[in-house]
Amino acid sequence: MRRKIVAGNWKMNKSLSQGLQLVDEILSASTSTEVLKIIAPPFTHLTAIAEILKSKADFAVAAQDCHHLPSGAYTGEVTAEMVASTGAKYVIIGHSERRLYAGETNDILIQKLNRALAANLIPIFCIGESIEERNAKTHLEAIRAQIKEALFHLSPNDFGKIIIAYEPVWAIGTGVTATSYQAQGVHDFIRTEINKKYGKEISENISILYGGSCNAQNAKELFACADIDGGLIGGASLKSSDFTAITNSF
């Protein structure tokens, strides 16, 4: 049975001391042990936060990205193996901001997925459509292409390890959220495409998260949808009360 997950992507926010304080506040306020809480802080915080959370079965740490190569002269970059060495267990791959600002292509993302899995990290793979694709009603074709081109090279065993996050690009950091009807429709579509490729057992057991201005006010309605297994949370993960309210929304 697929797990309920709430992942907090801090992006480029919080100093180390601020991050440690936020983790402490979240731990103090957290009451739901059935939901997996994943914290994705900046790279500089990974080791310290992983050490704090290592004994917590309902918490884990993720990196926000990793490089697609195992080593080399790439100043400022971090490999999947380096991420794993910090104690982090997960890594976000293909976030819309990385695709936009770093020009990441499906070829790059395939390499990142392969490196992450080789390092025994669990990828949280992001997909989503632009506002132009949504308005043109080609968003499902765009989603299908992203899944097929970046994920369907994986073996059934490896595919079964990943988490997918659907994040409509037009709802990232805008305050605009897909309606529960819109979000459920895409999540159902994603699960159906996975079923066609890998079969019912894998499609029914993979967690698919919603990301896109999910917050304490709308999480309950979104999480009540049959195919939405949690959220990839941005801004609302930076305040302990909001993040905890979201994790309690199931």
Catalytic machinery residues:
95, 167
CA 158 to chain centre: 17
Contact 227, 187 (CB under 8 A): yes
Number of CB atoms found within 10 A of residue 116's CB: 28
* Rounded CA separation 68/177 (Å): 31
* Rounded CA separation 146/148 (Å): 6
CA 180, 182, 188, 193 dihedral sign is: negative
